[in-house]
Amino acid sequence: MGYVAIAGTLQGIPQDVITRDNARLMEAHLADYDALAARLDRIGLDIEDIVAKIMTLEVGLPSWGLVTGGTRFSRYPLAGEPNNIFEKIEDCAVVQQLAGLTPRMSLHFPWDKADDYIALRQYAEAHGLGFDAINSNTFQDQKDQKRSYKFGSLSHSHPATRQQAVEHNLECIEIGRKLGSKALTVWVGDGSNFPGQSEFTDSLERYLDSMRVVYAGLPDDWRLLIEHKMFEPAFYSTVVQDWGTSILCAQTLGEKAQCLVDLGHHAQGVNIEMIVARLAQFGKLGGFHFNDSKYGDDDLDSGSINPFQLFLVFNELVYAEKRAKGRFRPAYMMDQSHNVTDPMESLLNSARAIAGAYAKALIVDRAALKAYQADNDVIMAHNCLRLAFETDVRAALAMARVRKGGAIDPIACYRASSYRALKAETRKFDPYLHGGIV
């Protein structure tokens, strides 16, 4: 089985593997598609409009999600997984090839450092990929780093440490410019583990002072995405702990600063879809880190634990999109850790779950919903959402993939290609490498 240039990609799954797997499933797929078309027609929707909208959805892939993740206890790497950013690009190109809605990668520095960013960009472009938001990392110490982030970074009590963290973020912007990226995501682990360890007000003030310098370094057409997180690694207080602090910081910094919502970064039971609505209403919803969680920042596959929540989030996003009339373009990205699955399979499944939540949100009968809400017809208003959520939209998703040259069943096709096994023959592998826990 030769790996050849196809559709702008240098390597990938041979086209005949996709064609063959799709041929196997086509008859059933078309029957399902017709059935869904008829169902949607009965509620006044044209399936072609829905498919066309699904085809516009784009979600960035996290470079740190391509290798097996781990917990505090261990990591169990997989033979054939990528060893560097170039090999990660190859894998992302395959996810894009099969899923059709993940055309960009979100990089994390210094993890993804390369000698030549122009060459890196060309390599990605040759694989049909671009770059999403750049992520800085001031939550770990790196080799040869002068000052430690043990007690914080952008909000550190010492000006020299803050300066070092600012410079790292400015360097990330520089790298991003070379790569053609348009946003910088800043998440800091800054916070405290003990009451009294730090002063809440002073540390936020210092954080803002640092962020003002980073903001001033942004190109005009860039966004600065502020990612909040309630706890971890700090377990008593966190400097940017919730969407309240995040939006205050974004408003203080200016137009180009917006908030990024990572679905796993909230207290249990928090109404995340409502946070999404609020941020969108005030023009500050800049981006997303999709994942799922049961307990905390679990970084599980999108839609694997609470698909209803994912749907309700997209219900707000579709409403915001409608209200903004085309001026609403948050950067959608995944942020997941794949500890016990093949990362590429998890990303394929997650892409499908995210697109599915979007598709279901698109078929909500908004006029009927508004009328029921106006009449305080609670059950019927709720059923409007339920009906959309319970609709099986898989055939519309598959059609969107097929029209982009992708697979009806991405995971079956990926397995049929033996991609991972073939990579295991050429990529170096150290089963005892336990680092890289995200």
Provide the pairing of β-strand 61-62 with 104-106: parallel
CA distance 189 to 203: 13
Q: Toward ligand RM4, which CB reaches closer, 64 or 131?
A: 64
Spatial CA neighbour of 237 closest among 246, 229, 227, 248: 229
From residue 281 to residue 320, the character string flagging contacts with Mn ion as x (rule: CB under 5 A) and all else as - is --------x-------x-----------------------
Residue 7 near residue 128 (C-beta atoms within 8 A): yes
Q: Is 434 left (phi over 0), alpha (psi -120 to 50) or beta?
A: alpha
**Residues 331-350 contacting Mn ion, CB under 5 A:** 335
**The residue type at 221:** D
438 binds, among ligand RM4, Mn ion, none (CB under 5 to 8 A by kind): ligand RM4
262, 321, 342, 409: which one contacts Mn ion (CB under 5 A)? 262
Count CB atoms within 10 A of the CB of residue 45.
Answer: 15
**The residue type at 259:** C
**Residues 95-114 contacting ligand RM4, CB under 6 A:** 108
Q: Toward ligand RM4, which CB reaches closer, 187 or 215?
A: 187
Min dist CB 64 to ligand RM4, Å, is 6
Q: Toward ligand RM4, which CB reaches closer, 135 or 349?
A: 135
Asked if residue 112 binds Mn ion (CB under 5 A), the reply is no
Closest residue to ligand RM4, based on beta-carbon distance:
187
Region of 10-18, 132-140, 328-336, 414-422 interacting with Mn ion (CB under 5 A): 328-336
Q: Toward ligand RM4, which CB reaches closer, 187 or 358?
A: 187
**Residues 370-399 contacting Mn ion, CB under 5 A:** none
32, 335, 342, 409: which one contacts ligand RM4 (CB under 6 A)? 335
Q: Toward ligand RM4, which CB reaches closer, 140 or 252?
A: 140
Asked if residue 436 binds ligand RM4 (CB under 6 A), the reply is no
227, 301, 316, 409: which one contacts ligand RM4 (CB under 6 A)? 227
Asked if residue 222 binds ligand RM4 (CB under 6 A), the reply is no
Asked if residue 293 binds ligand RM4 (CB under 6 A), the reply is no
**Residues 236-275 contacting ligand RM4, CB under 6 A:** 262
Q: Toward Mn ion, which CB reaches closer, 132 or 297?
A: 297
- Partners of 134 in beta bridges: 184
Asked if residue 88 binds ligand RM4 (CB under 6 A), the reply is no
Asked if residue 438 binds ligand RM4 (CB under 6 A), the reply is yes
- Partners of 60 in beta bridges: 333
Min dist CB 186 to ligand RM4, Å, is 9
CA distance 206 to 165: 12
Min dist CB 52 to ligand RM4, Å, is 31
**Residues 48-77 contacting ligand RM4, CB under 6 A:** 64
Min dist CB 277 to ligand RM4, Å, is 22
Min dist CB 1 to Mn ion, Å, is 36
Asked if residue 289 binds ligand RM4 (CB under 6 A), the reply is yes
Region of 111-119, 261-269, 336-344, 364-372 interacting with Mn ion (CB under 5 A): 261-269
CA distance 369 to 367: 5
Tokens coding 76: 């169990």
User: What is the total count of residues that contact ligand RM4 (CB under 6 A)?
Assistant: 11
CA distance 90 to 108: 17
Binding site for ligand RM4 (CB under 6 A): 64, 108, 135, 187, 227, 229, 262, 289, 297, 335, 438
Binding site for Mn ion (CB under 5 A): 262, 289, 297, 335
